[in-house]
Structure 1
Amino acid sequence: MALRDAGSPDGGRRQGILFDVDGTLIDSSYIHTISWWGAFRQQGYDIPMASIHHFVGMGGDRLVDSLLPANRDRSLDSDIMASHGALYASHWPALRPFDGAKDLLAQCHAAGLTVALASSARKKDLQVMKATLDADAFIDAATSANDAKDSKPAPDILVAALEAIGVEAADAVFVGDAVWDMKAAAALGIPAIAVTCGGVNAGELRDAGAVEVYEGPRDLLENLTSSAIGRLLSLAPNS
């Protein structure tokens, strides 16, 4: 995707905002939970949903490794991940954006920030979620699991998103819903705003490094100027 010219007229540095998608902009965290639950059961593993939900937001490889015994037959891991993908895809028609998600992307874009989706989702899942958001006009780049060697909480996907929009970590803010999002941002020194709409409580998100916590996209949008994004907006060219 071609970059919008978000540099300042005097040649100043570009400011950017990175968004996780699952559980942050799209109401899908519990759909992932039940899809992993079903995939595990197909291979004979009865993993409680609450345990699974705790790890949603990690890459699938890390999630599987975190939840299953170390002495398992690891050759089945790829089958479990494929089953999760198929089960999740069966729920594509049910995906919905959170209230305010599109408006939040639009406001950040209109204010002069370069906007990127930094998702650990599979490329085809991300394409479906982007269509659900219906906000391509406000998104400058989007990265998926295909763009990262290591999944969250490793920061690779954020590095890829920053490179895609030509923004330095010091000039960015990240918005996510999972502990693993907060840890990935912390690894790069990027301020991380958390939303609780993915099902993780505010205290856990703050403990993981969130600088601020909001209920969801609408809550963040209504408090945008006083948020960490607002501090970026004060530097953006159109502010």
Structure 2
Amino acid sequence: MANNSASPKKRGVLFDVDGTLIDSSYFHAMAWWQAFRREGLDIEMSAIHRRVGMGGDRLIQSLVPDCPEDLLEELKSAHSAVFSTFWPTLRSFDSVRDLLSACSGSGLAVGLASSAQQRDLEVSRHILDAGSSIDAWTSSNDAKESKPAPDILIACLEKLGVGPEDAVFVGDAVWDIKAGAAIGVPVIALTCGGISEAELRDAGAAEVYDNPRHLLEHLESSLIGRLAAGALKA
């Protein structure tokens, strides 16, 4: 995979990873559910799933208000341990590698704007196996605040050397859309993470597609295609 440093390309596309490129949203929900159960907390799976995409601290605090710091750390540790048991099961969505390659081949810098823990991100990068199509990536180590704060997007843009006015973000959660809006980056949303098209559009998604393959099929006419056309003319 490419070096995790600034690309000479002038415009770029950022991708969320979990639920957008990797079919992992429901595994994260299950891991959090089991973590809560281990601590005697009965949290509905649907409530957990709707918060997947937030950072662990935000997810816990939204479901367990005034959660003590020691319990918060125990829950995060338990989630991490359970989720790691799902690693062998994880798969990328159909056509992800072709989508990343097409974006890179069109002249755009490609970044993985992930707030996953470093070890989970390494697993995801191995699953994606996207070679030189990816120019930079982030992990939870790169941001103080998690989504819906825009810190991760800002960090990934800085690594690419691209400004927010020259970028598009692809995600699957309402939190991705809020993060993009905070810095003026339009968001293409995918429903493969389990959130409905109506909710994603209500949150402000510029475009909505079913999954990476669906986006790839409409890439030229999408925001990404139009951004690439502008980059090629620059």
> Which bin holds the TM-score, normalised by the shorter protein?
over 0.9
Q: CA deviation at 1:20?
A: 0.1
TM-score with structure 1 length normalisation? 0.94
Residue 186 of structure 2 is matched in structure 1 by: 191
Separation (CA, whole Å) in 2 of partners of 1:39 and 1:136:
34
Residue 86 of structure 1 is matched in structure 2 by: 81
CA contact (8 A) 2:7 2:161 kept: no
Cα deviation 1:33-80 (Å, max 9, x = unaligned):
00000000111101010000000000000000001133x433210010
Q: CA deviation at 1:120?
A: 1.2
Residue 61 of structure 2 is matched in structure 1 by: 65
Residue 53 of structure 1 is matched in structure 2 by: 49
CA contact (8 A) 2:33 2:43 kept: yes
Q: CA deviation at 1:230?
A: 1.2
SS in 1 for 2:159: helix
Verify: 1:161 aligned to 2:156, yes or no. Answer: yes
Q: 1:210 aligned to 205, 208, 212, which one? A: 205
**Alpha carbon RMSD of aligned pairs, Å?**
1.3
Q: CA deviation at 1:136?
A: 2.8
Separation (CA, whole Å) in 2 of partners of 1:195 and 1:4:
26
Q: 1:124 aligned to 104, 113, 119, which one? A: 119
Q: CA deviation at 1:237?
A: 3.0
CA contact (8 A) 1:58 1:153 kept: yes
Q: Which ranges in structure 2 are unaligned for 5 or more consecutive residues?
A: none
SS in 1 for 2:14: strand
Separation (CA, whole Å) in 2 of partners of 1:115 and 1:213:
19
Separation (CA, whole Å) in 2 of partners of 1:236 and 1:112:
7
Separation (CA, whole Å) in 1 of partners of 2:230 and 2:141:
32
Consecutive aligned runs of 4 or more in structure 1 exceeding 6 Å deviation: none
Q: Which ranges in structure 1 are unaligned for 5 or more consecutive residues?
A: 7-13
Verify: 1:235 aligned to 2:233, yes or no. Answer: no
Verify: 1:149 aligned to 2:113, yes or no. Answer: no
Separation (CA, whole Å) in 2 of partners of 1:216 and 1:228:
15
Report how many residues are paired. 231
Verify: 1:22 aligned to 2:18, yes or no. Answer: yes
SS in 1 for 2:104: helix
SS in 2 for 1:226: coil
Structure 1 pair 217–238 and aligned structure 2 pair: CA distance change class (3 A): farther
TM-score with structure 2 length normalisation? 0.96
Q: 1:5 aligned to 1, 8, 21, which one? A: 8
Q: Percent identity?
A: 57
Residue 138 of structure 1 is matched in structure 2 by: 133
CA contact (8 A) 1:111 1:238 kept: no
Return the letter of the residue paired with 1:5.
P
Cα deviation 1:126-182 (Å, max 9, x = unaligned):
110000000031000000111000000000000000000000000000000000000
Residue 200 of structure 1 is matched in structure 2 by: 195
Separation (CA, whole Å) in 2 of partners of 1:160 and 1:47:
33
Separation (CA, whole Å) in 1 of partners of 2:135 and 2:225:
19
CA contact (8 A) 2:6 2:158 kept: no
